[in-house]
Structure 1
Amino acid sequence: MKSIINIVFCGALLLIASSCDQKITEFLDKAPGVDVTESTVFSSRVQLETFITSTYRIGIHSIFTYNDANLIPTTRTTTINAGITDEAESEVTFFHTQQWNAATITANDGLVGQEDYRYYIRWTVIRNCNIILERINDVPGLDEAYKNQVMGEVKFIRALNYFEMLKRYGGVPIVDKRLGVTDDVNVKRSTVEDVVNFITKDCDEAVSLLPAAYTPNFRGRATKTVAQMLKARTLLFAASPLFNTASPYLSLGQNNKLICYGNQDNNRWQLAADAAKASLDLATAGGFALITDKGVDKNYKFAWEQNDNTEIVLAEKAYGSRGRTQFPWYGIQPVSIANAWGGVSVIHNFVRKYEKKDGTPQTWNLNGGGSDLLKKYSELDPRFAQTVGYVGSFWNRDWPALETFQGGRNADGCWGGAWMKKLIPDQLSTASGAVPNSIVFRLAEAYLNYAEALNEAQGPVPAAYDAVNAIRQRSGMPKLPTGLTKEQFRERVRNERDIELAFEDHRLWDIRRWMIAQNEGVMTGAMYGIKIYKIANSTEFRYEPYVIENRTFLPQMYLHPFLNNEVFKGYLVQNPGW
């Protein structure tokens, strides 16, 4: 990707939408360039590459927010979504997370309150993809292999943007061609089933057209494996209770199929399992593999910290090194460490999900606490220490030992008693910036997708066990116990997703597709932190659990609302409850 990224910064940038007030139709009927005409774009391979690069830049969604006024609307989210879930609490109250936790988001809030700051940009991306598919044969001198690659890339990017809308809204308008001035641009919502089929068709075609791998300098471009992983992810959502049901979470009357299938079919889980297995099979040929050679105390951290490692199937490549006072770091670091906007405090609801190293549950006294905090931490799954910045742990060269105890330098705003360390590399400090490892697809997800879908389709068969155990064992955790029921295995694989994919923007969407948001302690009810106290003449710490806040989740929040300024135009049916 480095080669084509250079083109986009050295050459003329094509249109990137920046207004949060523009409507869909303004993107669907807008010319593809301002300073560069469409004829220029399709006049040579170099010009086409520039257009493709700009489409990647606005069309790939990583786990980070960059606060880039050239890329996203002026009103925007500036932190990750972990603080909406039982993973974390945002240090400050002005992030979008607080509106979700208080259930005060509305269809009039604009993009920041609704989390989806890329909504309008996706329509620009989709239009770019449609234009490329229409005009690719007009570019002189292209060989068939390159044309196939480009068509595969844009079909993947188009499918990814539709998936991002599917998981937020359910059925959305399908636009599979460039719309001109004589076309009806008020395209109505398609059903969930039609959108899922559209995405998976694009993915199938992308898999058939894309290469298995690229040379290292082109990491960041779509491959067969990532297109197949997107198909598997889409089918996993399609098979999950939110969509795979005859009765949606709230009735939309005759329009129920805009928010669910309208029937329940267990075969959808088998389709998801088959797609996930195919992505694992393709990964080998593409050179993708789990990190297993760094040691059980380092494998996991290497996978999320080291750019372009073999486990990263796709990462966003729009940015180079970023200083600690630049986004995305500025929106996820504690104020006490970087004088940033605010950190992500890991809450005790999440910490309690970690098993001990022997695979048994850790015991926590929620009523009175205890005087053995560090001992309890030391007994946890090795991924805990590679994910969470806890009292006394290393943060970076500036902060070799965190002080999250009461009165400590890092305690203010640390509602949970610990900080999220995952995503923030050790290299980042006052002396050194760091290139964000902006993960979009990581191979570990494919294993867990396969295990979940296979269990739902067939029960806890050996292949489902093997997939989960591959993830556990590379981090030194024992295999799951045999003899689990389907329901027991379901809970174990869900917990494994919580731990392995923590803070990678999976939890919010898993909670909603499983329809567990209203369970106590998930997105509803008591969110716990711990207050930590020094013990005189001891290296240990006393912990005291307390309730940070009681959160509220309303049923309509299982899907996002469309903005009312779009709904009032008459062509979009609003999701129920909004």
Structure 2
Amino acid sequence: MKKRNLTILSIPICLAAASCMKPLNVVPVEFKSAQFVFSDSGRAELFINNAYTDLPADVSNSFNWLDGNAMLASATDEAMHVSTNKTVPSAAQRMSAGNWNPSNMKYWRAGDGAGEIGAWMKYGGYHGNRKANTAIKNLHLLPSTVTDRFRNRMMGEALFLRALHHWFLFQRWGGIPIVDRSFEASEDVLIPRNSVKSVVDFIVRDCDAAFALLPEEPYYEPNEVGRADRGSCLALKAKILLYAASPLYNRAGADSLTAYTTPVADRWAIAAQAAQDVVNLNWYTLYKPGANGQTNYSSFFNAWGAGTTNRELIFARLRTPNRDTENDNFPAGFTNARGGTCPSQDLVDAYEMADGTLFSWNNATHAAAPYANRDPRFYASIIYNGARYNRFAGQNNYTFQIFTGGVNASGNAKTETGYYLNKFMDYANVNPAQGNGNTYHNWVYFRYAEVLLNLAEAGNEAGGPSYVAASGGLTPVQALNLVRERAGMPTVETAMANRGVALNQTTLRDFIRNERRIELAFEDHRYFDVRRWMTIETLPKFIRGVEITRNGDGSFTYDPTVQVEQKLFDKKHYFFPIPQIEMNRNPQMRQNPDWQ
């Protein structure tokens, strides 16, 4: 989808639906009226196009969106952020250290003209939501000559985008002010937060309404590919319901702004049915261009388009070719190296062996060759010592030397964990050292593999490994097996048998959570998953790296116990703090627990 920037009907807006003290009574003269915009189908469509440009992936062409060119993964146990600028910590480093609060946190790497802290609400927040509400209010002005399909599609997209912006806000803050209309200048915009239940219900309603309006078939026309469709609505609905059923939200003893306060077990069954509804569309399939599991997995993130070319994509930011993500995560040992997102030993150890058994440093065979015979997704995602590439950043037959004193373990950009990021990258065609080469980078908000993992989790929690949401539906094990088969991994049953572990609800829960960790690594899931599961308090306080020594005979000795970065967690970190500037502007705003 080509998205052309068109700034119209633009009014400053803050956290609580434009909770600024100043009245919203000035529209600059260079901006056009609603009548001018929506009475013309072409201009109306441009307005909707522009409404897509306030989502998180629009912070930057790079996937390193956070301040300091970091990924959110580096604020979790997935990775550590390494920067050539050692004097100014990135947002991920500040979050890891617990060095952030309502007054001092710059989150995104870009501002929005409302002060840097205002950018929290720009990308996946109230700026885009304002545009969606403006469209919803004024699409009735479309000329009578437009088709019903076009009119309904425009309204369906606007409703979906409104739901999506509320989702991103909910994911970070819990119960937030629901803004379901455009405010007039004379109205009181200092509105309070709504409960978790109210926000979840609102998002579900908008998804259902958008689904009913959007076309009954997938998009294939060039001007429609990349837009929100019925599958997008169902995927978002499934995700919000999965969160709603999770322990963080579906619990007693919490404030209604952060939880339901009355736990209901049936919420898992509702979430499972929502995920099964996506499957039942029969629009999607896992991306498998060939027989090689590693290549199938790695190539998905650089495969252009949707529809017939990449039917795993449900909703994504489709970008023209660039090399920004490669630039931000370029390994040491090359000109223009930056280090970037360096995977942790904790994540590396989570990748299974190729036969589905668990990796263990206590296994002498594993410890002697820790990178041999692992899950193919490990090789697609992690650059490790001894990793060899036929073509890497302009060099042929390149082998990484990340041992102490090795060329890739030296310099200002050297990894502190012993690993570099390979996922999302296309160093075969991109060379940041010389500043040439480009590739497609599609940031995925929803993809079919995630839907299958959502289905597996919700179904297992609802009734165990053999649960089905509806007649003919997938069991949790069947959903997992589809994801694993694409990667070239053995079935759940085989893996469990090889481990000598019985398959039941408890063991499958651990299996599912690790599968999410691997399949969705670095895709902004882990940070929120360990919170909604309420398992983050049990994770190690330091993430580990590996120290590798090359012996005289050419073999290597590995020490995987090196503590490289503390990951501080307080209970207040279950939710983001509401920026203090918003608290000051709106006396009805309540801060999240323990952030005062």
Normalising by the residue count of structure 2, what TM-score does the alignment of the two structures yield?
Answer: 0.85
CA separation of 1:447/1:568 partners in 2, compared to 1, >3 Å: closer, same or farther? same
Q: 1:241 matched to which residue of 2?
A: 247
Q: 2:426 matched to which residue of 1?
A: 425
| Residue in structure 1 matching 2:370, options 368, 372, 376 | 376
- CA distance in structure 2 between the partners assigned to 1:479 and 1:22 by the alignment: 47
Residues 1:541 and 2:532 are matched in the alignment: no
Q: 2:592 matched to which residue of 1?
A: 575
Residues 1:500 and 2:519 are matched in the alignment: yes
> What letter is aligned with 1:420?
L
Farther-moved stretch of structure 1 (412-421 vs 371-380): 371-380
Question: What RMSD, in angstroms, separates the aligned Cα atoms of the two structures?
Answer: 2.9
Residues 1:124 and 2:143 are matched in the alignment: no
Trace 1:393-404 onto structure 2 (pairs within 5 A). 393=387, 394=389, 396-398=392-394, 400-404=398-402
Deviation at 1:61, TM superposition (A): 3.2
SS of the residue 2:442 aligns to: coil
Residues 1:138 and 2:135 are matched in the alignment: no
Q: 1:479 matched to which residue of 2?
A: 491
Q: 2:101 matched to which residue of 1?
A: 106
Residues 1:163 and 2:167 are matched in the alignment: yes
- CA distance in structure 1 between the partners assigned to 2:57 and 2:568 by the alignment: 27
> What letter is aligned with 1:503?
F
> Can you give the 5+ residue segments of structure 2 that lack an aligned partner in the other structure?
109-115, 468-474, 497-501
Q: 1:79 matched to which residue of 2?
A: 70
Deviation at 1:339, TM superposition (A): 2.1
CA separation of 1:297/1:120 partners in 2, compared to 1, >3 Å: closer, same or farther? closer
- CA distance in structure 2 between the partners assigned to 1:335 and 1:36 by the alignment: 50
> In 2, are the aligned partners of 1:243 and 1:261 still within 8 Å (CA)?
yes
Q: 1:387 matched to which residue of 2?
A: 381
| 1:349-393 CA distance string (max 9 Å, x none) | 11111111111111215xxx9897683212111110011111232
| Residue in structure 1 matching 2:571, options 538, 542, 555 | 555
Q: 2:32 matched to which residue of 1?
A: 36
> What letter is aligned with 1:230?
L
Q: 2:538 matched to which residue of 1?
A: 519
Q: 2:404 matched to which residue of 1?
A: 406
SS of the residue 1:297 aligns to: helix
Residues 1:213 and 2:218 are matched in the alignment: yes
Deviation at 1:55, TM superposition (A): 0.5
Trace 1:3-82 onto structure 2 (pairs within 5 A). 5=3, 8=4, 12-14=6-8, 24-25=18-19, 29=24, 31=27, 34-58=30-54, 60-62=55-57, 65-66=60-61, 76=67, 78-82=69-73
Residues 1:278 and 2:277 are matched in the alignment: yes
> In 2, are the aligned partners of 1:372 and 1:542 still within 8 Å (CA)?
no
Count of aligned pairs between the two proteins? 546
SS of the residue 1:257 aligns to: coil
> What letter is aligned with 1:465?
V
CA separation of 1:169/1:530 partners in 2, compared to 1, >3 Å: closer, same or farther? same
CA separation of 1:494/1:21 partners in 2, compared to 1, >3 Å: closer, same or farther? closer
Trace 1:133-532 onto structure 2 (pairs within 5 A). 133-140=136-143, 141-211=145-215, 212-217=217-222, 218-248=224-254, 256-282=255-281, 284=282, 286-291=283-288, 293-308=290-305, 309-317=310-318, 319-323=319-323, 327-334=324-331, 336-337=333-334, 339=336, 341-365=338-362, 375-393=369-387, 394=389, 396-398=392-394, 400-412=398-410, 413-426=414-427, 427-429=429-431, 430=434, 431-461=436-466, 463-481=475-493, 483-521=502-540, 525-532=541-548
> What letter is aligned with 1:153?
E
- CA distance in structure 1 between the partners assigned to 2:530 and 2:210 by the alignment: 29
Deviation at 1:341, TM superposition (A): 4.7
CA separation of 1:18/1:572 partners in 2, compared to 1, >3 Å: closer, same or farther? closer
- CA distance in structure 2 between the partners assigned to 1:151 and 1:77 by the alignment: 37
CA separation of 1:519/1:238 partners in 2, compared to 1, >3 Å: closer, same or farther? same
Q: 1:253 matched to which residue of 2?
A: none
| 1:273-316 CA distance string (max 9 Å, x none) | 0000001112x2x3544436442232111222322222111211
Deviation at 1:43, TM superposition (A): 2.8
- CA distance in structure 1 between the partners assigned to 2:207 and 2:285 by the alignment: 19
SS of the residue 1:533 aligns to: strand
SS of the residue 2:342 aligns to: strand
- CA distance in structure 2 between the partners assigned to 1:28 and 1:370 by the alignment: 69
Q: 2:499 matched to which residue of 1?
A: none
> What letter is aligned with 1:424?
M
Deviation at 1:195, TM superposition (A): 0.1
Farther-moved stretch of structure 1 (194-203 vs 478-487): 478-487
Identity %: 30
Deviation at 1:22, TM superposition (A): 12
CA separation of 1:464/1:370 partners in 2, compared to 1, >3 Å: closer, same or farther? closer
SS of the residue 1:147 aligns to: helix
CA separation of 1:418/1:64 partners in 2, compared to 1, >3 Å: closer, same or farther? farther
> In 1, are the aligned partners of 2:266 and 2:462 still within 8 Å (CA)?
yes
- CA distance in structure 2 between the partners assigned to 1:470 and 1:28 by the alignment: 54
- CA distance in structure 2 between the partners assigned to 1:46 and 1:348 by the alignment: 52
Q: 1:252 matched to which residue of 2?
A: none
CA separation of 1:492/1:269 partners in 2, compared to 1, >3 Å: closer, same or farther? same
> In 2, are the aligned partners of 1:64 and 1:79 still within 8 Å (CA)?
no
- CA distance in structure 2 between the partners assigned to 1:240 and 1:209 by the alignment: 30
Deviation at 1:340, TM superposition (A): 5.1
CA separation of 1:277/1:63 partners in 2, compared to 1, >3 Å: closer, same or farther? farther
> In 1, are the aligned partners of 2:326 and 2:426 still within 8 Å (CA)?
no
CA separation of 1:537/1:442 partners in 2, compared to 1, >3 Å: closer, same or farther? same
CA separation of 1:116/1:382 partners in 2, compared to 1, >3 Å: closer, same or farther? farther
SS of the residue 2:457 aligns to: helix
CA separation of 1:442/1:435 partners in 2, compared to 1, >3 Å: closer, same or farther? same
| 1:482-513 CA distance string (max 9 Å, x none) | 64221111110000000000111111010111
| 1:388-411 CA distance string (max 9 Å, x none) | 111232372335322212112221
> In 2, are the aligned partners of 1:80 and 1:332 still within 8 Å (CA)?
no
> In 1, are the aligned partners of 2:361 and 2:367 still within 8 Å (CA)?
no
Farther-moved stretch of structure 1 (140-149 vs 431-440): 431-440
Deviation at 1:243, TM superposition (A): 0.6
Deviation at 1:526, TM superposition (A): 2.4
- CA distance in structure 2 between the partners assigned to 1:465 and 1:372 by the alignment: 27
- CA distance in structure 2 between the partners assigned to 1:391 and 1:33 by the alignment: 60
> In 1, are the aligned partners of 2:381 and 2:422 still within 8 Å (CA)?
yes
Deviation at 1:119, TM superposition (A): 1.3
> In 2, are the aligned partners of 1:171 and 1:259 still within 8 Å (CA)?
yes
Deviation at 1:130, TM superposition (A): 1.1
CA separation of 1:341/1:33 partners in 2, compared to 1, >3 Å: closer, same or farther? farther
SS of the residue 1:202 aligns to: helix
CA separation of 1:474/1:486 partners in 2, compared to 1, >3 Å: closer, same or farther? same
> In 2, are the aligned partners of 1:63 and 1:438 still within 8 Å (CA)?
no
Residues 1:96 and 2:79 are matched in the alignment: no
Deviation at 1:434, TM superposition (A): 2.3
Normalising by the residue count of structure 1, what TM-score does the alignment of the two structures yield?
Answer: 0.88
